[in-house]
């Protein structure tokens, strides 16, 4: 949080900054952040540690990590999606060829540096889709 505050403050070129912070996304810290008083303690610590920042609110909108095994047992759409995504990721050469074809359809060459990142990007994309599919509930 502090690193992000300094980054934003540096872009704004201001001496002091009042901010409202929303913690969002999927994280194993979700259960910890739900502990009574913890978010308020974090906000106070931010305010006490750096006089150039004043955090008027720290809001927790995090979600617990998606339970892939539970989704597989349920057999609903997320389970099907995971199965298809994982089977596609097993064929790295096929993934690269698919992406190259998609880029060529737009008359753009697939950057060679991107090819090495495909496995990581594919996993991140899979996690993003799961977050979007299941993000509305608190699991």
For the stretch 42-68, pLDDT in tens is: 999 999 988 888 999 999 999 888 888
pLDDT class for 11, splitting at 50, 70, 90?
A: confident
Comparison of pLDDT for 77 and 14, the residue scoring more: 77
Q: Is the pLDDT of residue 137 over 60?
A: no
Full-model pTM: 0.59
Q: Is the pLDDT of residue 14 over 90?
A: no
* Contacts for 95 with CB less than 8 Å, ≥ 6 apart: 88, 89, 118, 119, 122
Q: Is residue 6 part of a domain?
A: yes
Residue 97 and residue 79 share a domain? yes
Q: Are strands 17-26 and 53-63 parallel, antiparallel or unpaired?
A: parallel
Give pLDDT, residue 1.
84
Q: What is the CA radius of gyration of the chain?
A: 20
Give pLDDT, residue 139.
41
Residue 73 and residue 58 share a domain? no
Task: Classify burial at 58, counting beta carbons within 10 Å of its beta carbon; exposed 0-12, middle 13-18, buried 19 or more.
Answer: buried
122: helix, coil or strand?
helix
Residue 128 and residue 87 share a domain? yes
- How far apart, in whole angstroms, are the C-alpha atoms of residue 6 and residue 52? 9
pLDDT, tens digit, 9 for 90 and up, residues 64-74: 888 888 888 88
pLDDT class for 135, splitting at 50, 70, 90?
A: low
Residue 87 and residue 35 share a domain? no
The whole domain housing 115 covers 68-134
Q: How many domains does the chain have?
A: 2
Closest CA to 30 of 121, 131, 119, 125: 131
pLDDT, tens digit, 9 for 90 and up, residues 98-130: 888 988 999 988 888 888 888 888 888 888 888
pLDDT class for 138, splitting at 50, 70, 90?
A: very low
């Amino acid at each position: 949080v502090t690193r992000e505050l300094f980054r934003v403050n540096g872009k704004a070129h201001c001496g002091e900054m009042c901010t409202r912070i929303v913690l969002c996304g999927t994280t194993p810290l979700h259960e910890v952040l739900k502990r009574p008083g913890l978010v308020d303690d974090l906000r106070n610590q931010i305010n006490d540690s750096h006089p150039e920042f004043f955090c008027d609110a720290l809001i927790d909108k995090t979600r617990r990590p998606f339970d892939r095994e539970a989704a597989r047992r349920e057999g609903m759409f997320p389970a099907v999606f995971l199965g298809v995504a994982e089977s596609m990721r097993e064929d790295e050469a096929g993934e690269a060829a698919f992406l190259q074809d998609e880029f060529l359809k737009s008359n753009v060459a697939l950057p060679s540096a991107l090819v090495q990142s495909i496995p990581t990007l594919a996993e991140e994309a899979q996690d993003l889709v799961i977050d979007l599919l299941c993000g509305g509930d608190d699991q």
